Structure 1
């Protein structure tokens, strides 16, 4: 199999040639989001209990976005969200009372707000 051609580093103005991404000088440091500790529970979303039970049951129980409904809109939910972030706590992860149905837009907005708040707490 042929090697990938060399390309300039993704950092603006850097001309170092790399196979992909950034050169060693400009490679972003591992953030908390990409660290192994924060990824340890990400595989839970591929487990049968989530894909075949919790997620579909929640969407059947609550087919419309909860946030949009508060604004008087009727939008089908596509994502299942944890009301209180579980942060690796299995009992919070599987608790059906901790789940809500959201449209993709509302889920993204909530996720960004939570991650910004978490980052602000870390900076203190």
Structure 2
């Protein structure tokens, strides 16, 4: 099976060759992620402070299994409290526990990609 040829990084002025399917070289992917993180603000500034950590702990204590794995018949410990509908800064939606679900990291990462929040 033939492989697609490498192409230059899409960052302006960068000629580093990257594999097909990747837009940027490792250096510029890291740089882009740091810039996005800086623009987003700290977790506390986005509502994930001590109040959230306490609520998260209690929710995971009450719902310790990953909801998506459970539907598939898999019993896996949840480590993340996910907002079913992304809150996008809406504090009412953020704190609405009926909008929360317990997920394992794997299912949460997959959902985050599907929601289009990771590029």
Q: TM-score, normalised by structure 2?
A: 0.64
Cα distance in 1 between the residues matched to 2:112 and 2:106:
10
Q: Quick one: which of 51, 54, 59 aligns to 2:53?
A: 51
Which position in structure 1 is the counterpart of 2:62?
A: 61
How far did 1:94 drift?
A: 1.1
Against the structure 1 CA distance between its residues 100 and 11, is the aligned structure 2 distance closer, same or farther, given a 3 Å change threshold?
farther
- List gaps (5 residues or longer) in structure 2: 1-13, 18-26
> SS in structure 2 opposite 1:115?
coil
Q: Which one has a bigger Cα radius of gyration?
A: 1
- List gaps (5 residues or longer) in structure 1: 1-9, 14-20, 120-124
Tell me how large the CA RMSD over aligned residues is: 3.1
Cα distance in 2 between the residues matched to 1:87 and 1:40:
13
Against the structure 1 CA distance between its residues 86 and 41, is the aligned structure 2 distance closer, same or farther, given a 3 Å change threshold?
farther
Q: TM-score, normalised by structure 1?
A: 0.62
How far did 1:60 drift?
A: 1.0
Kept after mapping to 2: 8 A contact 1:92/1:98 = yes
